[in-house]
Amino acid sequence: MDWPTAVSDSVAALDYLRSREQGVGIVGFCFGGGLAFNVAAVSSPDVLVSYYGSALPNLLELAPDVDAVSLHHFGDADDYLKSDDVDKIIEAVDGPGNEIYRYPGAGHAFDNPMPAFHHAEASALAWSRTEAFLARHLPIS
């Protein structure tokens, strides 16, 4: 997949949704978590939710351009995103109104329902936090 095309296509979708005069948010998991972050840096969603964004370590220079309030979820037992990388991500994205959570014992893709990845407790807690975050920052009119 071509990253610039994915970003521009996602921005076009976001622009279309914004034309409907509703608040818009972007949620991404793994690869999509990084893509969502990149889209938020070049566009203006109202909210960003990123689950274990695998591309984030390579996108941290975009952090100052992300003005959407954001929520980030990371598993502490992630074999793909090392703890040092997560620390760097947290330092880059921490800001007013942003929420960042780490889940002990949860690996990469902990929300994936496949048994090889799923961490039921982290998945349920992250999802409830996501729902509450979206309810606070992206109310449905």
Q: Which of 46, 72, 73, 78 is catalytic?
A: 78
Q: Which of 30, 46, 72, 73 is catalytic?
A: 30
- 100, 94 in Cβ contact below 8 A? yes
For residue 30, indicate whether it is catalytic. Answer: yes
For residue 2, indicate whether it is catalytic. Answer: no
126: its two tokens: 């992250």
Q: Which of 76, 85, 108, 118 is catalytic?
A: 108
* Rg from Cα positions in the chain: 14
| CB atoms closer than 10 angstroms to residue 105 | 11
- 51, 33 in Cβ contact below 8 A? yes
For residue 72, indicate whether it is catalytic. Answer: no
Q: Which residues are catalytic?
A: 30, 78, 108
